[in-house]
Structure 1
């Protein structure tokens, strides 16, 4: 038994094992290898319990994790935001948005807004957290947290959260936050609602209402976590509104002692390369031009990109456009991509299914260009032009700003 299996939920009682191998035969994931006793691979095991049921001598035991049952009014307190920073150490846009929403929730619950910043102790980030409403800022610094490694960041976050016991923890549903929030929730044995588009407090129970699209976006589900803490939700960037920064605001800064912190020994950082995508960031662009599968040709996309550059706009794409290779995956907008809220969104050749429109709900103005007059995109557009893309493009190219 090594350090990774010693605390694993599935354990072998060697004094009861008869070495029959029925547990290995019953495992559908190939997680058990028979030696003198069953050897369990914790990275393959899904804790389904099939081996426990198959063992004739009850030599396998599946330990149920301890649960946290403190509810509102108990020892858990505080609306926390897991802060995320950019490569230059400044605060990310989604963190500012979450702090704004946390302030609304905190007012309803009469609790404080707090932020957890892992790894980075950038003065700019700390000042921004206070300016955007964090009344208390928890710093978790350690040499092994200098570079982002998901497993290490999750362990550090859990160490601080177990010590301080927040009531609610909000995380940005960014490429970094999606995986990190899932690991934190698993380690804490609490619930997590991913990709929320709205948050509220139930007036009767005081529970966090975690609202997100379900069943392909055809309905909105409201989810609650009644018995475990913290209540966790990841929130799509661009759907919440950040407050105006107030440089006069100051927050209490708490540095947590992580001198005994142990990083995940399975992972070793070999190299780190900063990769920058071309063009403006979708989240920060006032104008975004969306490309759909109706554009059809790569050459047409290139012409649209040239026009967008003249407008000072960023170029995005629907999932369908990404799947056929017209647009890079990191520029996908929609339910399975980014959520944006530009001043103007120009949809070219996009049908407008709910999976895509979920990502542009925050746009102030939408212009749709599609030859199909019945396309759903016209139901959400402020202005529509029912013409083929090839016919519209020469006139668009003539538009000057």
Structure 2
């Protein structure tokens, strides 16, 4: 598969004098002078410096012509599949379920993009979760996640097939990858969506996410560019039950001519040992907040968590105090979780944190402040300090 794509910066060869000023002026080394300037679309940032420098006016940046845009040129809802340890990430299954629901309104196909190395064996699983077609992008340079390489193959494929909608998981990998892909495709991106809807009149995707500190929900649309891109937090949407009898098309694309980004060299890679469940799939999560004032109390909470099979997470305040690692943060700037039981210890319950608890089935709040907002959303409340509560809970196990 050819990884060259059309690019907004063009060289007007009939005007070019070959002076090389454009290449000298580029701060990103994106222009190489051969007979005419050659522009690397993956390195260029479209800053316009070369256009201003060129005395012959031989460089031009094209802007999209909204009048000539037609949504009929794009078709299909795509889900960018993410893998974890040789398995599909849970957010991919959730996005496929949502894509199927959206496709029923648009009457279009659901397609999954599966980049990586040795990942073709997962194609049938993607079909079972709702994909009508799976695009397999396998290459040795994709064995390790390097954002630039993944973006190149995804952009090349999207440029070839022109999907109407592209959905990405707002994970540690997906957030950066989605932004890079959107930039290279010259389209918009709404990050951290919590809801997706199709406008019945225009057929546009309403990309809905919290705004102004979670005080209102903003519906964002991308009317003039394609694909319409949105990243969605894990745990917000529910995956459908897999149907192993579903049939679909698997397309293995030829990446023999793919050139990875040679500016990046992977020196070493080390897997971190993670004990127990993750935040996304744990049935019980204990949240630590500012009210847990010292690490000794956090240690006691972790010991109790082991007894009941829970994972310990925290609010942004707890992360800033050094009580909880940043990758375990729950809330608007962290994870969105859907446990069967969430136990909030010393958490006040500001909207920035509770925005990540929309899927929790039961919430128990432990806080000495009876007026704390957390009690407004809790199913059960206990107005005591963390230390007092732990003295009573230490003997409780599940």
TM-score, L = length of structure 2 = 0.87
Please name the residue that 2:153 is paired with: 156
> Which position in structure 1 is the counterpart of 2:3?
none
Q: How does 1:68-87 map to 2 (within 5 A)?
A: 70-72=69-71, 74-87=72-85
Residue 259 (structure 1) shift:
2.1
Cα distance in 2, alignment partners of residues 294 and 149 from structure 1: 39
Cα shift at 1:8: 8.8
Measure, in 1, the Cα distance between the counterparts of 2:214 and 2:106: 30
Does 2:153 align with 1:194?
no
Displacement of 1:263: 1.2
Structure 2: which 5+ residue stretches go unaligned? 1-6, 30-38
1:364 to 346, 361, 368: 361
1:326-337 alignment runs, 5 A limit: 326-337=323-334
Segment drifting more, 41-50 vs 216-225: 41-50
Q: Deviations over 1:21-77 (max 9, x none)?
A: xx99xx9xx889xxxxxxx99999975668977x796869562355686443x1211
**SS at structure 2 position matched to 1:253:** strand
Report if aligned partners of 2:117, 2:140 keep a CA contact under 8 Å in 1: no
How do residues 272-287 of structure 1 correspond to structure 2 at under 5 angstroms?
Answer: 272-287=269-284
Across the aligned residues of Structure 1 and Structure 2, the Cα RMSD in angstroms comes to: 3.0
* Alignment correspondent of 1:141: 138
CA pair 104-321 structure 1, distance change in 2 beyond 3 A:
same
After superposition, the Cα gap between the structure-2 partners of 1:58 and 1:230, relative to the gap in structure 1 and judged at 3 Å, is: same
1:376 maps to 2:373:
yes
* Structure 1 pair 219–204 and aligned structure 2 pair: CA distance change class (3 A): same
After superposition, the Cα gap between the structure-2 partners of 1:48 and 1:135, relative to the gap in structure 1 and judged at 3 Å, is: closer
Using the TM superposition, give the Cα deviation of residue 124 of structure 1 relative to its aligned residue in structure 2, in angstroms: 4.4
The answer for the alignment partner of 1:393 in structure 2 is 390
**Residues 122-131 or 307-316, more deviating:** 122-131
Tell me which residue corresponds to 1:239.
236
Q: Write the distance in 2 (CA, Å) between the matches of 1:60 and 1:219.
A: 47
Query: What's 2:286 paired with?
Result: 289
1:130 aligns with 2:127: yes
| Contact kept in structure 2, 1:76 and 1:167, CA below 8 Å | yes
Offset, 1:389: 1.4
Q: CA deviation at 1:165?
A: 1.2
Q: CA deviation at 1:273?
A: 1.4
In the superposition, the TM-score normalised over structure 1's length comes to 0.86
Paired residues, number: 378
SS in 2 for 1:193: strand
Q: 2:200: which partner in 1?
A: 203
Deviations 1:125-179 (A, max 9, x none): 2121011011110111122222211101100001111111111110000000001
Which residue number in structure 2 is paired with residue 346 of structure 1?
Answer: 343
Q: 1:213 to 1:127 in 2, by over 3 A?
A: same
Q: Helix, strand or coil: the match of 1:186?
A: helix
Partner Cα distance (1:187, 1:352) in 2: 39
1:332-374 alpha-carbon deviations (Å, 9 max, x no partner): 1111111100000000000111111011111001011111111
The answer as to 2:210 corresponding to 1:216 is no
1:106 and 2:103 correspond:
yes
Residue 79 to residue 31, structure 1, CA distance change in 2 (3 Å): closer
Q: Which moved more, 1:190-199 or 1:250-259?
A: 250-259
